[in-house]
């Protein structure tokens, strides 16, 4: 198989080659694809503006490289195995040929509904194969998809629709999640009350939940494809044409639309999937992420499919109807590579080993984790009890912005080490800097993680606001991409990610800006001001601790906290609900009005002495009052 690394020596060799001559390295990988016109130049870049272009003037379509490329060799191979939320409902197996037909047909349907190359389409759907069809159909005709996690609120959805002026929304009547059925079409209807760009809504029937179909605007998926041809010639795209936008939280209030383009993203997700997971042609690969996150884009849909892999898609949740559900699915389909998040591992570990007992799990060859730092405890449990000590764990570090995995072991090829993402993939050049931007060279150092050279899968801009992209990622440290993560390089040169160094909280692998949550809390009319910090949480990794100054004149503290949680749920979504709320008389602020989160973080974990210098505080007494009230947090 082209471009697969087989040995540790091979890794070292490829890594060196990728640094010495990136153009040769990446063009040899890109050559394994079908290009309608070859690129003129491999790479043009500078990290000031920034401007990054890969495979310049190359012409291609990413779906050509999934379907037309594999049709003769893998047409009958399962592309998607879909397991529904309810174990009683039959699963589906969709071959590459069948997925190709569905993609072409839906691509034609989108065109028939007036969609053209460059139009933005929001996908707000459950984990059903049609969600992948929707993404691929957009890519086929050059429409830009923006998948929004179907757990987000109407308000979050309308913000995203407005930010990219989406012309269409793809959704479903409802979403089965564990024991619940969530009426997501209602959420879309509410979101569309505060948007004006959306002309059409296509609704996939999943739950048979009654919905209100707006005449002239809403159309059922099955009606949209009725009588539509299953043949379609893919649009010719430039390497640097936008493939998708995915919104992600940062340290400011408003989520950013991360933009990925066609050629580089294709090459990068293909290469990283192949090497990190060491996927073999007959393997069944399962990533448990939702397609609303970048992991779902790169490692459920594009990466696996560009490798002609069989990718398992699961509609449900880890613990429904029982905490052995994941292991049941592994055995049912003889899953070989299993990729999940530390938060899921910890949640399942909490049930003990009993739920594992009925299952053999002997098909497993590779285990993966992503989304947040994994603690050693959870790593060992995963390794010993799920992998039975036989399976290497790939702890994959990457971001929405990076498009694909940057630092990770290659399964069975390079060494693993508990809680370490270990080594950069070929083509990835990490650098650690101190707060002044000085490079920390050599081993046994700790600092801010930056990347000093482009890789094909990296973000190109933030939608509609390039300056924000520069500000957020390229301005802290001159000439470097700043990840926002702290990192340690140990005595052997292995990387351990230490978590965010900015105001981003990582709850169960989902990024949340403190400002974003505060803005939502402040929407409650009785909240005067609030400050939010992360604190260690046994299952979620980090929990949200909110300090709020409130008007309690006409309701109980308990009721107000309930209402605040409801408000946050409505504005962002249930995942942003604070785990703890403490009503406080004031917040520790500097004379310039900046909230000293450092102090609030310490109080949240019960460290109530040794605050360092608090003399710059406007009102140092407030700290004492917050400490006194700590037990009222709930
Ligand atoms: C893929 C994804 C990105 C942030 C990132 C880190 C954290 C992700 C790991 C990790 C430690 C890991 N994209 N993170 N993977 N921390 N070890 N293996 O999660 O944009 O949603 O989040 O997640 O802080 O900056 S993301």
Q: Write the CB contacts of 611 (distance below 8 Å, at least 6 apart in sequence).
A: 598, 599, 602, 623
Which residues share a beta bridge with 485? 500
Both 534 and 397 in a single domain? Answer: no
CATH number, domain containing residue 95? 3.40.50.12780
Number of domains in the chain: 2
Distance of CA 479 to the CA centre of its chain: 26
Residue 583 lies in a domain: yes
pLDDT of residue 206: 98
CA–CA gap between residue 84 and residue 314 (Å, rounded): 6
Closest by CA position to 457, among listed 384, 372, 398, 540 = 398
Residue 399 lies in a domain: yes
Domain that residue 140 falls in: 59-434
CB of 396 within 6 A of ligand 1: the answer is yes
CA–CA gap between residue 422 and residue 397 (Å, rounded): 9
Residue 262 lies in a domain: yes
Both 422 and 519 in a single domain? Answer: no
Residue 527 lies in a domain: yes
For residue 51, the SS3 value is: strand
CATH number, domain containing residue 540? 3.30.300.30
Looking from the CA of residue 407, the nearest atom of ligand 1 is 18
Label the pairing between strands 445-451 and 430-433.
Answer: antiparallel
Q: What is the DSSP letter of 458?
A: S
Distance between Cα 405 and ligand 1 center (Å): 10
> In whole angstroms, how large is the CA radius of gyration of the chain?
24
CB of 530 within 6 A of ligand 1: the answer is no
Looking from the CA of residue 408, the nearest atom of ligand 1 is 18
Both 141 and 230 in a single domain? Answer: yes
Both 68 and 166 in a single domain? Answer: yes
The model's pLDDT over 164-187, given as tens digits with 9 standing for 90+, comes to 999 999 999 999 999 999 999 999
Both 267 and 361 in a single domain? Answer: yes
Low-confidence ranges of the chain (pLDDT < 50): 1
Both 189 and 301 in a single domain? Answer: yes
CA–CA gap between residue 296 and residue 313 (Å, rounded): 9
For residue 575, the SS3 value is: helix
CB of 249 within 6 A of ligand 1: the answer is no
Distance between Cα 380 and ligand 1 center (Å): 20
Mark which of 401, 434, 467 sits at the end of a domain: 434
Both 276 and 383 in a single domain? Answer: yes
CB of 408 within 6 A of ligand 1: the answer is no
For residue 613, the SS3 value is: coil
Residue 462 lies in a domain: no
CB of 582 within 6 A of ligand 1: the answer is no
Mark which of 407, 434, 461 sits at the end of a domain: 434
Pocket test for ligand 1, best of 248, 397, 451 (most atoms within 8 A of CB): 397
pLDDT of residue 612: 76
pTM: 0.93
Q: What is the DSSP letter of 407?
A: B
Which residues share a beta bridge with 153? none
Pocket test for ligand 1, best of 371, 409, 485 (most atoms within 8 A of CB): 371
Distance between Cα 396 and ligand 1 center (Å): 8
Distance between Cα 194 and ligand 1 center (Å): 32
pLDDT of residue 1: 46
The model's pLDDT over 404-442, given as tens digits with 9 standing for 90+, comes to 999 999 999 999 999 999 999 999 999 999 999 999 999
Residue 173 lies in a domain: yes
Both 410 and 527 in a single domain? Answer: no
Residue nearest to atom 22 of ligand 1 (CA): 399
CB of 373 within 6 A of ligand 1: the answer is yes
Residue 410 lies in a domain: yes
Residue nearest to atom 18 of ligand 1 (CA): 397
Both 323 and 196 in a single domain? Answer: yes
Both 429 and 551 in a single domain? Answer: no
Residue 172 lies in a domain: yes
Both 414 and 519 in a single domain? Answer: no
Distance between Cα 306 and ligand 1 center (Å): 23
Both 161 and 256 in a single domain? Answer: yes
Label the pairing between strands 541-550 and 527-537.
Answer: antiparallel
CB of 497 within 6 A of ligand 1: the answer is yes
Mark which of 402, 434, 466 sits at the end of a domain: 434
């Amino acid at each position: 198989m082209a471009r697969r690394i087989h040995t540790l020596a091979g890794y070292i060799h490829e890594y060196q080659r990728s640094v010495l001559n990136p153009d040769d390295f990446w063009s040899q990988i890109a050559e394994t694809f079908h290009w309608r016109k070859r690129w003129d130049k491999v790479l043009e870049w500078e990290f000031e503006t920034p401007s990054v272009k890969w495979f310049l003037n190359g012409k291609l379509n990413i779906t050509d490289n999934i379907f037309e490329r594999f049709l003769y060799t893998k047409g009958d191979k399962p592309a998607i195995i879909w397991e529904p939320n309810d174990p009683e409902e039959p699963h589906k197996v969709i071959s590459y040929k069948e997925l190709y037909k569905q993609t072409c047909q839906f691509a034609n349907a989108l065109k028939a509904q007036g969609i053209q190359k460059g139009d933005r389409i929001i996908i707000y759907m459950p984990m059903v194969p049609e969600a992948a069809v929707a993404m691929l159909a957009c890519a086929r005709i050059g429409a830009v998809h923006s998948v929004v996690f179907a757990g987000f609120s109407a308000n979050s959805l309308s913000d995203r629709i407005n930010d990219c002026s989406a012309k269409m929304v793809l959704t479903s009547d409802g979403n089965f999640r564990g024991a619940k059925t969530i009426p997501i079409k209602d959420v879309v209807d509410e979101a569309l009350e505060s948007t004006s760009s959306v002309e059409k809504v296509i609704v996939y029937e999943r739950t048979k939940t009654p919905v209100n179909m707006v005449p002239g605007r809403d159309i059922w998926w099955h009606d949209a494809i009725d009588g539509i041809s299953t043949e379609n010639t893919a649009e010719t795209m430039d390497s640097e044409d936008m493939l998708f936008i995915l919104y992600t939280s940062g340290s400011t209030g408003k989520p950013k639309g991360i933009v990925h383009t066609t050629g580089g993203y294709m090459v990068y997700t293909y290469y990283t999937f192949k090497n990190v997971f060491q996927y073999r042609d007959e393997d069944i690969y399962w990533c448990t992420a939702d397609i609303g996150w970048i992991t779902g884009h790169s490692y459920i849909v594009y990466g696996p499919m560009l490798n002609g892999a069989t990718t398992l898609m699961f509609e449900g949740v880890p613990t429904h109807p029982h905490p052995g559900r994941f292991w049941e699915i592994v055995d049912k389909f003889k899953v070989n590579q299993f990729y999940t998040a530390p938060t899921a591992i910890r949640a399942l570990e909490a049930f003990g080993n009993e739920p594992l007992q009925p299952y053999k799990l002997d098909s497993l060859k590779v285990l993966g984790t992503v989304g947040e730092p994994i603690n050693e405890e959870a790593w060992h449990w995963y390794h010993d009890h799920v992998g039975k000590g036989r399976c290497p764990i790939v702890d994959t570090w990457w971001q929405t912005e990076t498009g694909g995995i940057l630092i990770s072991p290659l399964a069975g090829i390079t060494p693993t080490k508990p809680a370490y993402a270990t080594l950069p993939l070929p083509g990835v050049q990490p650098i650690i800097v101190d707060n002044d931007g000085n490079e920390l060279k050599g081993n046994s150092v700790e600092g801010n993680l930056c990347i000093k050279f482009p890789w094909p899968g990296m973000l190109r801009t933030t939608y509609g606001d390039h300056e924000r992209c520069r500000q957020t990622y390229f301005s802290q440290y001159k000439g470097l991409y700043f990840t926002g993560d702290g990192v340690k390089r140990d005595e052997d040169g292995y990387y351990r990610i230490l978590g965010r160094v900015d105001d981003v909280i990582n709850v169960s692998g989902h990024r949340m800006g403190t400002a974003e949550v505060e803005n939502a809390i402040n929407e409650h009319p009785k909240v005067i001001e609030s400050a939010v910090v992360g604190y260690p949480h046994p299952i979620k990794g980090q929990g949200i601790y909110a300090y709020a100054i409130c008007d309690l004149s006409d309701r109980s503290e308990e009721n107000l906290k309930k209402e605040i949680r409801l408000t946050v749920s409505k504005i962002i979504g249930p995942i942003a609900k604070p785990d703890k709320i403490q009503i406080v008389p004031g917040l520790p602020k500097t004379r310039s009005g900046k909230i000293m989160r450092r102090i609030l973080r310490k109080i949240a974990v019960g460290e109530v002495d040794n605050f360092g210098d608090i003399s710059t505080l406007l009102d140092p007494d407030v700290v004492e009052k917050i400490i006194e009230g700590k037990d009222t947090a709930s």
